[in-house]
Amino acid sequence: MLAIDTNVLVRFLVKDDPEQSLKARALIEQETIFVALTVLLEAEWVLRSAYRFERERLLKAFRAFAGLKTVVIQDPRALSKAIAWAEAGMDFADALHLAQMGQSEAFATFDARLAKAAKRMGAAEVRGL
Per-residue pLDDT tens for 60-73? 999 999 999 999 99
Closest CA to 104 of 84, 118, 85: 118
DSSP one-letter string for 1-21: -EE--HHHHHHHHH--SHHHH
Query: Measured over all CA atoms, what is the biggest interatomic distance in the chain, rounded to whole angstroms?
Result: 48
In a domain? residue 108: no
Residue 101 maps to a domain: no
Q: Given this model, what pLDDT does residue 129 score?
A: 83
Number of domains the chain is built from:
1
Domain assignment present for residue 27? The answer is yes
Is there a domain that residue 85 lies in? no
pLDDT at residue 108 tops 90:
yes
Give the alpha-carbon dihedral of 94, 8, 67, 14, to 10 degrees.
80
Strands 126-128 and 71-73: unpaired
CA distance 51 to 29: 24
State pLDDT tens for residues 37-67: 999 999 999 999 999 999 999 999 999 999 9
Measure the CA–CA gap between 16 and 30, rounded to whole angstroms: 21
SS3 32: coil
Q: Lowest-pLDDT range, 87-96, 105-114, 116-125?
A: 116-125
pLDDT at 119 over 90: no
Q: What is the C-alpha end-to-end distance of the chain, expressed in Å?
A: 42
Residue 22 structural domain: 2-74
